[in-house]
Amino acid sequence: MNSDRYAYIDRKSGRVIRDYIYAAAFMEWCYNTLPGRLLTDLILSSKFVSRLYGWYYRQAWTKSKIAGFAAAMRVDLTELTRPLSSFGSFGEFISRDIDLSKRIVNDNPAICVSPVDGRVMVYPAIDKDSTLRIKNGLFNLATLLQDDVLAVRYQDGSLASFRLYLADYHHFHFPTDGVAAEPRSIQGRYYATSPYSICRTVPFYAANHRMLTVLESERFGLITMIEIGAFTVGSIRQHFKPCNRVSKAQHKGWFELGGSALVLLFEKNRIHFDADLCANSRAGMETFVRLGESIGAC
């Protein structure tokens, strides 16, 4: 197992890669020193700070940061749908669309695909009362869902947890066909979802603002999608018509700014995750998957 908490396995190349972390020194201070943790718990994880951060980076003067950021973070500019110079602010660039023809969607109806570009860990069986440590986050089904009926339904079910960094494509899509219900918002804090913390686990699965959408699918049963806000993510935007049929890889919504996370929950015996994802997860390693790639079969 690789001990570097910022390392992941790139599925396409099979190589272990270390993420370039934007403002890592400051964030590590926030999560690994006593004054930093106090500042984080009392102020930085508040909704106000993330909204203020988002407001600042929506201003026109921040567009000067785009080119340097894109170069430092190795953003693939060939995926852009318009010139880099056309973005009106740094925040607009972070929430950018991409040319979706660059993503090859597995169209086999028996395959569930990744809803995002992000780092995934999978768990074939979870208990509603047990607590898992996923990277630096503590996960508990009951506290995540805040819904006893749903928690019972996913008893011994399966979980896929995706994390996005600041440079990633910030939109999320549906993992399979089905009928999507009205999203439900759970208010909360805005802790970082990246593994900055060494000394303690971060309760972002239970404490952060998140949105839950139940997707009734033919092949995979009842799937619950949970988008989790994070430090500097001022809003989670939804872009679909609730209670209507949706298709695999259809656009669902986006995170406005910053790193963030997404969880997929499956009922018991409804999905068999791909072998490489299972092997990497057992070793404690995330795998970088791209929108449209297979994560498992029904």
Alpha-carbon distance of 287 to 230, in angstroms, equals 20
Judge whether 270 and 114 are in contact, CB under 8 Å: no
Judge whether 263 and 116 are in contact, CB under 8 Å: no
Alpha-carbon distance of 187 to 207, in angstroms, equals 8
Judge whether 134 and 162 are in contact, CB under 8 Å: no
Judge whether 210 and 226 are in contact, CB under 8 Å: yes
Query: Where do the H-state alpha helices sit in the chain?
Result: 24-32, 34-39, 47-56, 66-72, 90-94, 141-145, 148-153, 204-207, 275-282
Judge whether 120 and 162 are in contact, CB under 8 Å: yes
Active site residue 19: no
With tokens 């990744």, the residue in question is 114
Active site residue 209: no
Active site residue 173: yes
Question: Which listed residue (19, 50, 95, 117) is catalytic?
Answer: 117
Judge whether 228 and 208 are in contact, CB under 8 Å: yes
Question: Which listed residue (45, 95, 171, 173) is catalytic?
Answer: 173
Question: Which listed residue (260, 274, 281, 294) is catalytic?
Answer: 260
Alpha-carbon distance of 106 to 256, in angstroms, equals 27
Of 178, 74, 197, residue with least CA distance to 135: 197
- Catalytic residue numbers read 117, 173, 260
